[in-house]
Structure 1
C-alpha cells in the first residue's frame, strides 16, 4: 500500500535487522550472492537458503519435521489461524525454547522439553537500546531500570547461544556492549549509518531524511515511481454467507488485555455488522450471534456499524478460530486472515 504500518513497536527495526525468514540485515533478499557478500563481511559462512515463515513452522511441526523450535516473543497460538491445530503441532516438537518478556499461553502447551528464557525489555537492557519508528527514525532509549531476576538483554542470549553451539564463532559474536553492537549494525547495514553515535536521551537519526525521494527521483531504472491499479473482484458469496475479516489496523488486544476497546466501546467478542444487514436479519445491538466458518465457530456480540454489505469484522486473536490454516498468500507467505461465514442468532 501507499503507507504500510507495522503492527507493533519494534517490528520495523527487527525486520530491518533481518529478523524474518526471507531477508538479511538491511532487508536484502536472501540469495547465493547476498549470502556470499555477508559471509565476506562477517568472516564466516552464511547460509544462502531462506528460513521458514511462521505458518511453515507450524506445518513442519505438524509433520514431525522440527527437532527444535526457538520462539523469540510472539505467540503462535494467538496469532495463527486455527489455534487448536497450532497447539497440537507445537506439542509435537521435541524441544521448544521460549524467549520472552512475559508469560504467554503457548509456553504452557505440553511437550517433551520446554525451556523458558526470560528476556529484558528494551528499557531494561544494559546500556540502553534503539527502536525504529514507521517514519524510519532510529531513537535511543537509555537503560532506566536493571532487568528483574534472571532476565537478560536479548542480544546477549542470542550471542551466547551462537558461541556455545559453535565456539569458532566466538570472535564474531563476543560483543563487549550495546555500543559495540550498534557499531556493527552501522558497518553491515549502511542505511543505519549514525546508529553508532546514539548513546543518550533524545539521540536519534532518521535514515533517508525527513522525506524519501523528495527530489522526485525514485529507485527505479527510469527514476519514476510505479503505481499499479487493480480491479479486485468481490468474493462470491452463497445465499446467507458473509465475508469476514479480522481487524488489523484497529485491533486492540494483542498486548493490551482490556475487555473493552476504548476506541469503539466494543467488547473482545464483538462482531461488527452493517446496520442494513443487521436490520435484514432482525439483529439488534448487543444480540448474541454464532459465526460459523468451514473450520470453526465463535460466539459473538453484535456491534452495529457502517460497513459494506455482507461483510463482517471481528477482533484478533479471538476470530482466529474461524480462519482456515494453510491458505497462505504466495508472495508474502502469510496466512489469509479472512473467512466466509454464516450468522445464527443465539437465544438468551
Structure 2
C-alpha cells in the first residue's frame, strides 16, 4: 500500500500511526518544523492531525502533493468566519454571530448579540485561548488588534456540552459514534462519558447535522463536531476536520477507534459500523507528571504523550471502559486517589453521570 504522511507529529499523529500498524499501513507523522527532506512518491497519501499549520519547507512540500486528502477543507474550517458561514449556508443551528470588522464597536455587537458577547480569533486559539469576553455596560471596547481578525458570538446559556464524531469514505458511506457528554473547564476538556442513554433521542438530529457537513465538503476521514444542548435543541459550537479529543474514549469502548477509522478512510480500506463495547470514561491529563501508579488501577488504559509538562497542557489521557457500572465506578474512585485536587471534580462529574445512568 501507499505510504501515508501525517502533517504534524503531536499526540494525534502518534495515535494515528499506532492505530494503522495492525492494518499494515505505513504511516509517518512529520514535524512541521523539520528541516530533514522527505521523499514523496506519486502514489503516497497525505493527511493531517491539525487544521492549520505554518508555511515551512516541509509543510509546503506536503500541501503541494496532489494526494493531500481534504486539502480544500482545511482553510474553510480553520477560519471561524468561513466555518460559521458554511453552517449558516446549510441551515445548521449555531450560536448567533457577527464578524468583527474594522468598523465594529462593542456597543454595536451588544445591540446585535446581547449582554454577553464572546470574541473568538478567526484562526488559532484552542483550549480556551484566543477568546475574549465583552460585557455590558455600554462603553466597553473591542481590544486592539481584534478588528478584522475575530468573530463575535452570542453567549449561549447551554445545559451541557456534547460532541459527535463521525467518519466518511470517498464513496460517501458514513458511520457515527454515540453522542459523547463532555466536561470543559476554562475551555479545556477534562472528561468525557459515552454512550449516555438519555442522549439517544438526540442522536439522529446530530448525525443529520454532521452528515450534511461531511457530504457538502466531500470529506474523507474522521471529523469532530462540538455541540451545545439547550433543552431538546442542539447547536454547533465548533468543527474539527481531524480526530478529536472527545473521541479518545473509542480506543477502549468501540470495536474501531476514531484513529483506525480515519486511517481506513484515507487509505481507501473498507469501513464498518462500530460495535460499542461498554460505557467509557476518558480523563484528560492536564499539566501532570507521569505517575506509574495509574497503571495499578484495574482497567485503566493510559496514553502518555511524552510531552514536556506545563500548566494547562494536555500531556496524556486515561480511558476506562466496562459493561458493569460498579466496576467502572470502583476504578474511577481508585484513580481519584492517584490524581491531584483539580481532577476530583471531573471524576465526581463522571461518577454522577454513571450513577444517574444506573438509576442510583
**TM tier relative to shorter chain:** under 0.3
Kindly indicate which of the two structures has a greater share of residues assigned to strand.
2
Alignment TM-score, normalising by the size of structure 1: 0.26
Kindly indicate which of the two structures has a greater share of residues assigned to helix.
2
Larger radius of gyration: 1
